[in-house]
Structure 1
Amino acid sequence: ESCCGESVRKVGDEELFQKLAQSNIELFNGKGVKKIITTSPHCLWTFQNEYPELGGEWEVVHYTDLLLQLVAEGKLQLPQGAAKKVAYHDPCYLGRHSGIYDAPRSLLGQAVGGASIELERHREMSLCCAGGGGGIWAEVPKGERFGELRITDAVEKGAEVLATACPYCLNMLIDACKSLDKQDDLEIRELSEILAESL
């Protein structure tokens, strides 16, 4: 499969998006795909909301919803990992765009043995990492990066780990943590890494 094309469409390359989408649609439909599980909220949104008009209609699920369903059915158990103070960053495309707030928090709470720390701006009011819309490819001057505000929020709340469930957010937050020289104070992790380590 190819990239879903979300980033290239958001930066204005509609022709490349159409090529990527048609390639994926032909592949998925040709293989009889019925369900797609994504790790990226951007792919989730794109497959759910932009592909149907092009002939791509499947059930699309973010991995956090799938894992929470498996836990609820007793098919997956998340033993409690090392107790750390973990904050969760809501990705825009997972939260505001797709309405998925509870699954990541529930999984994280089970994996670390308690509720995660809520940042000042969370859920519907979460602060964007600025990676979407092509922002992940842009060079933004230090001091103007949204990710830096997010790192400061997490450190001020006493978090030892800042978890997220989006590859764009992960990269933006890692870069922001480095630019603020906070790597010794705060670890940036993808939720799936924390869950895998708890197994």
Structure 2
Amino acid sequence: MKALAPFKEAAEAVIETGGDAFKLCYQCGLCSGVCPWNLVRSFTPRGVMHEVQLGLIELEREEIWLCATCGACVKRCPRGVNLIDVMRAMRRIAVQWRAVPESLRLTLASLGTVGNPFGEAREKRADWARNLGVKAFSRETELLFFPCCTPAYDPKAKAAAIAMVKVLKEAGADFGILGSQESCCGESARKAGDESLFQSLANDNIKAFTKNGVKRVLTLSPHCYHTFRNEYPELGLSGVEVVHYTQYLLELLQSKRLKLSKVVNKKVAYHDPCYLGRHNDIYEEPREVLRSIPGLELVELPDCRENSLCCGGGGGRIWMETKREERFTEIRINQALEVGADILAVACPYCYINLQDSLVTMGKEDVLQIKDISELVAEAI
């Protein structure tokens, strides 16, 4: 088993890779109390922090890779410790020592070679939009639609991107895509500890945005939104407004550019994505959009808004296998059924994939549907 030299050297290595926040931890244990892993198994972030403080770091330990970067612990920490930074720092050390889980290693390799986690050819990135009449972005285009790798390459997730195209066209929006010029935003790579890969992907996208004169980016994924808005500026991105599609939908509705007339007589529960809610405080826009749909009844889940239950896909975990009995999404689906929802609405491709997979494995497809908000809006046009 690979391990760093104990004590001082190991702690210093974490500090050097950006995880010096551990020094503030006074072991109160609130982080362990709110971590969603403890709903399905035992995991103590407090214990991990203590081991880092002592300089005892086992790079192949499973706990290093469990964190889904949901941010629940960060919100509750009375000392303001960003545990995500500490976990990321440990993963950066693990990447340097090549102590990375196999499935994640293959994903990182695909990101490095073809710019997407699926290992698909870059030339296929715009295939999802074939026959939809979506134009290539140019300097005169108002809005760059950036759908994320998952809707672009995963057939199960592309419905949200297709629905959004329908909505944008209905509203008369001037938008386009960059297609093969796009690369993954790199969020998973950074949270998985491969900082150099993240910066390479980010620089490729920044160059593409600059070359094409992008001024406003519309993202489908909260992970892209978070990364473009909060992390790319440190690498030189400037003069670009980043908007999540739920924000833009509300903008279209409030300006009367988009009118919804068809009735959707469904009871809908909304699942707050971690990277839209806790990480970026966007809670109202998705709900206002849903309330604007005629006939739709919006109900709240037991764990909602800043207390939302993570889907388990952040921090690179979307590319790692999770045992069925340890999937947070099964708890979420049961919560949706308990409040009588017909549809569990999402605003994140990762949430959609994880919830849909659990819906199938639980055999609940006949009593609940997983739909992206863009799909519900498209149905109401």
Instruction: Flag whether TM exceeds 0.5 (same fold).
Output: yes
- The one-letter code matched in structure 2 to 1:43 is C
Q: Name the residue aligned to 2:231.
A: 50
Distance 2:285 2:197 in 1: 33
1:189 to 364, 371, 375: 371
Q: Deviations over 1:79-137 (max 9, x none)?
A: 24320111110000111111111111111122252441100010111111111111111
- Larger gyration radius, structure 1 or structure 2: 2
- Superposition pairs of residues 112-131 of structure 1, within 5 angstroms: 112-131=294-313
**How has the CA–CA distance of structure 1 residues 122 and 112 changed in structure 2, closer, same or farther, with 3 Å as cutoff?**
farther
Are positions 1:37 and 2:218 aligned together?
A: yes
Are positions 1:22 and 2:207 aligned together?
A: no
Identify the range of structure 1 (87-96 vs 102-111) with the bigger mean alpha-carbon deviation: 102-111
Q: Is the 8 A contact 2:267 2:299 kept in 1?
A: yes
Are positions 1:90 and 2:283 aligned together?
A: no
**Structure 1 length-normalised TM:** 0.96
User: Secondary structure of the equivalent of 1:51?
Assistant: helix
Q: Structure 1: state its 5+ residue gaps.
A: none
Distance 1:173 1:25 in 2: 32
User: Secondary structure of the equivalent of 2:199?
Assistant: helix
User: Secondary structure of the equivalent of 1:119?
Assistant: coil
Distance 2:233 2:245 in 1: 20
Distance 1:17 1:85 in 2: 40
- Superposition pairs of residues 54-69 of structure 1, within 5 angstroms: 54-57=235-238, 58-69=240-251
Are positions 1:133 and 2:315 aligned together?
A: yes
- The one-letter code matched in structure 2 to 1:76 is L
- The one-letter code matched in structure 1 to 2:280 is S
**Structure 2 length-normalised TM:** 0.51
Distance 1:113 1:65 in 2: 21
User: Structure 1 residue 142: deviation in Å?
Assistant: 1.5
Q: Name the residue aligned to 2:259.
A: 77
Identity rate of aligned residues, in percent? 55
Identify the range of structure 1 (8-17 vs 166-175) with the bigger mean alpha-carbon deviation: 8-17
Distance 2:285 2:349 in 1: 17
Q: Is the 8 A contact 1:79 1:110 kept in 2?
A: no
Distance 1:185 1:115 in 2: 17
1:2 to 151, 164, 183: 183
1:178 to 349, 354, 360: 360
Distance 1:9 1:115 in 2: 38
Q: Is the 8 A contact 1:71 1:77 kept in 2?
A: yes
2:328 to 146, 150, 172: 146
Higher normalized contact order (CA 8 Å, seq sep 6+, divided by chain length):
1
Q: Structure 2: state its 5+ residue gaps.
A: 1-181
Q: Is the 8 A contact 2:188 2:314 kept in 1?
A: yes
2:285 to 98, 103, 109: 103
Identify the range of structure 1 (101-110 vs 146-155) with the bigger mean alpha-carbon deviation: 101-110
- The one-letter code matched in structure 1 to 2:219 is T
Distance 2:314 2:295 in 1: 31
1:160 to 323, 327, 342: 342
User: Structure 1 residue 70: deviation in Å?
Assistant: 1.3
Distance 2:316 2:231 in 1: 17
Q: Is the 8 A contact 2:299 2:341 kept in 1?
A: yes
User: Secondary structure of the equivalent of 1:143?
Assistant: helix
- The one-letter code matched in structure 1 to 2:358 is A
